[in-house]
Amino acid sequence: MESSPLLLAGIGITLLAVLLVLVVVLRRRPEPAPAADPRIDQLAGQIQALAAAQAATQAAIDQRLDQRLNQLSDRVHERLALSATEAGQSLSELKERLAVIDAAQKNIAELSTRMVSLQDILSNKQARGAFGEVQLAAIVRDALPPANYEFQAALGDGKRVDCLLRLPNPPGAIGIDAKFPLEAYRAIRDAADDAAINQARREFSTAIKLHVRAIAEKYIVPGETADSALMFLPSEAVYAELHANFPNLVEEAGRSRVWIVSPTTLMATLTTMRAVLKDVRMREQAHVIQAKVGELAKDLDRLDTRVGKLQQHFDQAVEDVRQIRISTDKALKKSADIESVGLDGPEAEALAAPVAKIPVAR
């Protein structure tokens, strides 16, 4: 145990103190007779031995204390070094996190600036219209071929539409309006109490009705455009607010043949229109295909006639060959009959002479 050397040292010091007290007491007593000297010498020897043992014990204790102190110092140094390393790593990580936080704060500040700029854009009616037109143009260009749309197209009465979809009849050309009454919607969003919200909703409803009526009057032209038009809202939030809290406005717009669309629903609508255009092109090509099929049928009729004539020629040739064969067979038979006829006298001898055989054409 670590406390044993200290305990032994304390006991030794106590014994040494007791012996010193005894020596002092004995010296103060009257000097004994010379016969008492051996005991004093013996006691002095014991004291010296005890002092030597105490010194050895103290040296051992000092040595062990030095060892323990050295070990403790080494441990302290190790712990301090480890703590310094961990503290350095923690500081490095903290610096990195602070750098990330600083970058995030800069991004937030930049985003806030951009949001303010966007808010400024949307607060101006003309700039807001341009913003809606840019978003509308991007969606239309992605969905339809260039031949089927025109931006800022002029109608017959001189009015211009933000985008005119050129579709075949029916339904015909469809106009799209890209301006929207954002001020009334912002008033709903910024209202602080129920009274302000109700007032803002009434103003929003009025603004939507007026806008729908203006679109129906300007962009639905009998004989030039389709009997309907589209009102483009470049904000899904406004579109959701309209359908969630103002379904009567959506129904009224439908009765006016003005269909309200958001970026998502406009893309779906244009995708459907693209399918319709593809079907129209296929129907147009079907007439061409039918005409080509008719021409092919005529060519096949002519080919059949010519093949029939060729078949007749082949049949006639076969008949001619058959007739020639018959004639050849008859000639060969007659030749054999002539050879088999018997003769006497000089005629027989003359006939017995070799005669060149006349080749028969086959």
Task: Tell me, letter by letter, the H, E, C secondary structure of the chain.
Answer: CCCHHHHHHHHHHHHHHHHHHHHHHHHHCCCCCHHHHHHHHHHHHHHHHHHHHHHHHHHHHHHHHHHHHHHHHHHHHHHHHHHHHHHHHHHHHHHHHHHHHHHHHHHHHHHHHHHHHHHHHHHCHHHHHHHHHHHHHHHHHHHCCHHHEEEEEECCCCCEEEEEECCCCCCCCEEEECCCCHHHHHHHHHCCCHHHHHHHHHHHHHHHHHHHHHHHHHHCCCCCCCCCEEEECCCHHHHHHHHHHCHHHHHHHHHCCEEEECHHHHHHHHHHHHHHHHHHHHHHHHHHHHHHHHHHHHHHHHHHHHHHHHHHHHHHHHHHHHHHHHHHHHHHHHHHHHHCCCCCCHHHHHHHCCCCCCCCCC
- Residue-level pLDDT at 1: 46
Distance in angstroms between the alpha carbons of the first and the last residue of the chain: 140
- Residue-level pLDDT at 15: 67
- Residue-level pLDDT at 200: 85
- Residue-level pLDDT at 362: 46
Cα 265 from Cα 246, distance rounded (Å)? 18
258 close to 252: Cβ distance less than 8 angstroms: no
- Residue-level pLDDT at 125: 57
- Residue-level pLDDT at 2: 47
Cα 128 from Cα 122, distance rounded (Å)? 5
- Residue-level pLDDT at 133: 81
Cα 195 from Cα 53, distance rounded (Å)? 101
Q: How far is CA 305 from the centre of its chain?
A: 63
Residue environment code for 44-71, b if the CB has 16+ CB neighbours within 10 A, otherwise e: eeebeeeeeebeebeeebeeeeeeeeee
Q: Which residues of the chain have pLDDT under 50?
A: 1-2, 33-35, 116, 343, 358, 360-362
